[in-house]
Chains A and B, each alone.
Chain A
């Protein structure tokens, strides 16, 4: 059974700091991995989608890496801003058993001005 874990559960950093959010999964038979942002009272916004054949994806100040063999993904945020404060979720899509998508519980990020 696939399990997705995100560490840390919460993180508080000063503005301008570079930071890394971690996501680990137990079953390496994945089709892709997606990072989402969730703001309070709002739905999820897709940030980056990495296919299983890819090693990383970049969008602006965000860089996501994927190491399928070790069951790990990281989301790197450069030069953090107060507007980056949100919960960040990773979701893994299986490549077997009906292509289920399993979410982690998220990392709650607070960037202090």
Chain B
């Protein structure tokens, strides 16, 4: 079974520039998550999709961050304009809907390391 794919692996941009990350979840997984992990901290949920609908985006800085999930499969996360404090690893995860949704484990991609200078 192929895992969660993310690209790019690394990105360096200047502040005020824009950047986009891409995620392809495990085939058939209905739920997709984007997490932000700042160095030395645990991951923080930015947004959660169920198919192509948003379940939770309460911690997404909507003035600069946006995300979409086309046709309930791939997803993109965009930052515009970027700030220095956005430097972090952005992790994408997916989980299936088989059985009890909340019992299912999430599978993570390798992440995209963003450096804003």
Contacts and interface: CB of A to CB of B under 8 A. Distances in A.
A100 B110 contact: no
A43 B105 contact: no
Interface residues of A, number: 25
Nearest to A108: B40
Contacts, number: 47
Interface stretch (B13-21, B41-49, B69-77, B79-87): B41-49
A97 to B, nearest CB: 9
Contacts of B111: 42-43
Contact residue range for chain B? 20 to 34
A46 B56 contact: no
A93 B102 contact: yes
A18 to B, nearest CB: 25
A58 interface: no
Contact of B102 (A4, A31, A36, A102): A31
A44 B40 contact: no
Interface in A76-93: 89, 91, 93
Contacts of A36: 108
Contacts of B108: 36, 43-45
A28 to B, nearest CB: 17
Interface string A12-52: 00000000000000000001101010000111111001010
